[in-house]
Structure 1
Amino acid sequence: GGCKPTEPTYTTDLPISTPEAEGVSSAAILQFVDALDQGENEIHSFVIVRHGKIISEGWWNPYGKDLRHTMFSVSKSFTSTGVGLAIAENKLALTDKVASFFPESIPDTLSAYMKEMTVEDLLKMSTGMDTDPLFQAMGSTGDWPKIFLSTPIQHEPGTVFKYNNMATFMLSAIVQKATGEKLFDFLKPRLFEPLGITNVTWDERPAGFTLGAIGLRIASNDMAKFGQLLLQKGKWNGKQLIPESWIAAASAAQIDSSDPENTNPNESNDWAQGYGYQFWKSRHNSYRADGLGGQFILVLPEKDAVVVLTASSVITQDELNVVWDNLLPALQPEPLPEDKAALDKLTARVASLAVSKTTSVQPDAALLARIAGKKITCAQNELGITALRVDLQQADARIAFERDSVRSEITAGPDTWKLSDTQFNTLNAAPRTGQTQPIKMAATYTWVDATTLKVSARFVEEAISSEVWLFQFKDNGTVQVDVKPEPAGMPFGRPVVYCKGRLSSPAEFLACYFYAYWVSQRRRRAKNV
């Protein structure tokens, strides 16, 4: 009983228990799942861990237990762990000067503030810079540390909180300089392998540094293991993997994180509770790893619980509010009586989760006959697509598109997601050069009306939004194809494309032009990548 942290012995996976056995009612978790599913935000998965055991988990189709999810800034908390481990091995110190690790990247003039900036200033997001140099660096294959070291600093380092992605990249580069290993490689034997985490990737920069700030892809259950390790103060199967003192420091409020641009009152704002070493403090004496679009590892020490969420959220505060309003009150100190009926109801609800549920109308039979086997040829366009073909002969739709001699194909399920392997990570560009590993793509199609076909493709390990192709077949023999991201409010939207086509002969549609423009994106909180 009680809420004392437990330290069970783990094999590869966290053990499974029932909600009631760990002091949580299945009915309350069902209410939590309903609130997630019915809210404005699109949720992809949840995992609830209580007393070291998974008591409930679920994935919204096409997301799944065995698939990695892109983590955005949750990556930063793993980078912090690498820094803590390097410090524990006496490879570097909090007080080390940032510039000292990069003698080959020192600009002609190094500002006085830059000379004084320390590893701890990077960890606390207190570089003193008003702008984040990452956005300048992203288009460059050059010397990223030099770009950082050349950036003007407006405030004394260590004094002002300002979210800075490049600061975290620099921490990754410092770990590599101090240990001789890339951050990802350094963490493998020290963190990932002891936790049994093998299904994980992390993007690199051209110079060979682990990206650090973003770019980690990991499965939800593996996020939960990391959260449980933090809850156990760094101890796993009797071994201290991370120093307890590091987790205490990293998860403490090291600097005031309130932001004048965020209009939420501080007492209801999970971004105003303080910032640690690449972790955010949260309400209710909790802390979290936090990534764009609602990726969370929420650690609740007072409740001996961990909550993992992956999502494509536009308003991430609302996502956390679902935890505070529905789940937090349900975490009771003692086991509850078994409630098989409620547990069965929860199990059935979780099994039916999907990110978008559609029901097709009956398509126009004459239209189906008219487009069967037809090719839509395209004039020169910004996306480089030369031809399209829509095959609806079988239950699954096959959408083929060509870029010169390279042919790509989507297989989409009728009102259900169909998972397949591809070599490209967007419909709007050719496959990446050097792409060796297949990329997971899910696709579905629905008839919006008798003559409008909507095809949604989602690169489930690469992105958190869909790319939607809307084919509108007109009575006069034209076809218009609109390409857009979905949900529409998500940042980093793909280009929106309009393609108009005309039936020029019985054998083909002629698509004349593609127009692409970037959708303007507006989010309530724009600082956190």
Structure 2
Amino acid sequence: MNLSELEHTFKKKKVNAFLVYQKGEIVTEYYKTEKCAQNVYKINSITKSIISILIGIALEKGYIHSIHTPIVEWIPNMPKEKQLLTMYHLLTMTTGEDWKEFGDGVIFPNDFVESQNWIDYILNKPITKQPGTKMNYNSGSSHVLSYILQLVTGMTTAAFVDKYLFEPLHITSYQWQQDPQGIFVGGFGMKMKPKDMLKIGQLCLQNGYWNGQQLVSSNWIEQSHQKRFTTYERVGAYGYHWWILDRETCNVPYHTYFAMGYGGQYILIVPQLELTAVISSQMPKRGLVPLKLFVKYLQEMH
């Protein structure tokens, strides 16, 4: 299975865009229609991995001193049982909170989204497991990260992303949902063009460099895709808001890390092959299919 075969397979699926950049150039650029190139698509939880990059930038700029600082430093009204939770717990989704969102299928956290105050809703979720022991997918954690970014920088997360990430990458047409308090949603809610998603992948592939300028530290990118916790069967391990596949966990010949959004949205990075790929799909019930096909491609080319 080579890239053109993979592209051909995607053409038969509900894939709107499939882009591959390798060794300095775009080698595959498939769009289902002309419009697919220009449209902004829901990237869903890929938003989380963008938040992770922003945390790295905030560290570099001195807005945050350490991801091991207890969150209570910024959010004083944390419940007593959550006084020791840190940004590390949020980034790795190991807060131990009672939260159902992923596992036996995907359950959208409707109660959370329908609540009057999203941050309060998350803070009041009870802890049922020892923090730092088990990864449990939680969009609330990502939202708290967006809130902390707003608190420490004194600007909205959208203003921060524009200034330090999107403007240098020339990403101008995107949309981003806000919660009832106006906080930009950390866990989902962003829409973007496939070509702009690819720029995020390129930035990571280039260890945080873009046109000779370092936008985020290489060390942060490196830290983000270290395997820290096992997740769900067939989905790999988890780092700092990035998923990780490798030989041990998924029989993948090359270390691969990726951002994943509901319904088959992906930014995949394979450093050894100097490759990054973007898949934008409309597969609400079968969102893991593009990932499986991409993994198959990696296995067969090895």
Q: Structure 2 length as normaliser, TM-score?
A: 0.89
Residue number among 273, 279, 288 corresponding to 2:242 in the alignment: 279
Q: Which amino acid in structure 1 is aligned with residue 242 of structure 2?
A: F
The 5-angstrom pairing of residues 110-121 of structure 1 reads 110-112=79-81, 114-121=82-89
1:68 aligns with 2:31: no
5+ residue gaps, structure 2, are 102-108, 246-251
**Count of aligned positions:** 286
Q: Give the deviation of 1:62 after TM superposition.
A: 7.0
From the superposition, tell whether residues 54 and 159 of structure 1 become closer, same or farther in structure 2 (CA, over 3 Å).
same
1:101 aligns with 2:74: yes
Q: Which amino acid in structure 2 is aligned with residue 129 of structure 1?
A: E
The 5-angstrom pairing of residues 62-461 of structure 1 reads 63-92=35-64, 93-103=66-76, 106=77, 110-112=79-81, 114-132=82-100, 134-142=109-117, 144-257=118-231, 259=232, 262=233, 269=234, 271=235, 273-282=236-245, 283=252, 284-313=254-283, 314-326=285-297, 329=300
State the distance in 2 between where 1:64 and 1:73 align. Answer: 20
State the distance in 2 between where 1:323 and 1:222 align. Answer: 20
Could you say what secondary structure the match of 2:260 adopts? strand
1:57 aligns with 2:60: no
Assess if the C-alpha contact under 8 Å between 2:264 and 2:289 holds in 1.
Answer: no
Residue 20 (structure 2) aligns with: 48
Q: Deviations for 1:169-200, whole angstroms, at most 9, x for unmatched residues?
A: 00000000111111111011211111111111
Relative contact order, CA 8 A, sep 6+: which one is greater?
A: 2
Assess if the C-alpha contact under 8 Å between 1:99 and 1:149 holds in 2.
Answer: no
Q: Give the deviation of 1:329 after TM superposition.
A: 4.5
Assess if the C-alpha contact under 8 Å between 1:29 and 1:327 holds in 2.
Answer: no
Q: Structure 1 length as normaliser, TM-score?
A: 0.52
Q: Which amino acid in structure 2 is aligned with residue 220 of structure 1?
A: P
State the distance in 1 between where 2:295 and 2:121 align. Answer: 41
Percent identity between the aligned chains? 28
Assess if the C-alpha contact under 8 Å between 1:70 and 1:216 holds in 2.
Answer: yes
From the superposition, tell whether residues 220 and 293 of structure 1 become closer, same or farther in structure 2 (CA, over 3 Å).
same
Assess if the C-alpha contact under 8 Å between 1:197 and 1:222 holds in 2.
Answer: yes
Q: Which amino acid in structure 2 is aligned with residue 288 of structure 1?
A: F
- Structure richer in strand, relative to its length: 1
Q: Give the deviation of 1:31 after TM superposition.
A: 1.4
Q: Which amino acid in structure 1 is aligned with residue 279 of structure 2?
A: L
State the distance in 2 between where 1:119 and 1:163 align. Answer: 15
Could you say what secondary structure the match of 2:18 adopts? strand
State the distance in 2 between where 1:236 and 1:99 align. Answer: 35
5+ residue gaps, structure 1, are 1-26, 263-268, 332-529
Q: Give the deviation of 1:64 after TM superposition.
A: 1.6
Q: Give the deviation of 1:149 after TM superposition.
A: 1.5
Residue 490 (structure 1) aligns with: none
Could you say what secondary structure the match of 1:194 adopts? helix
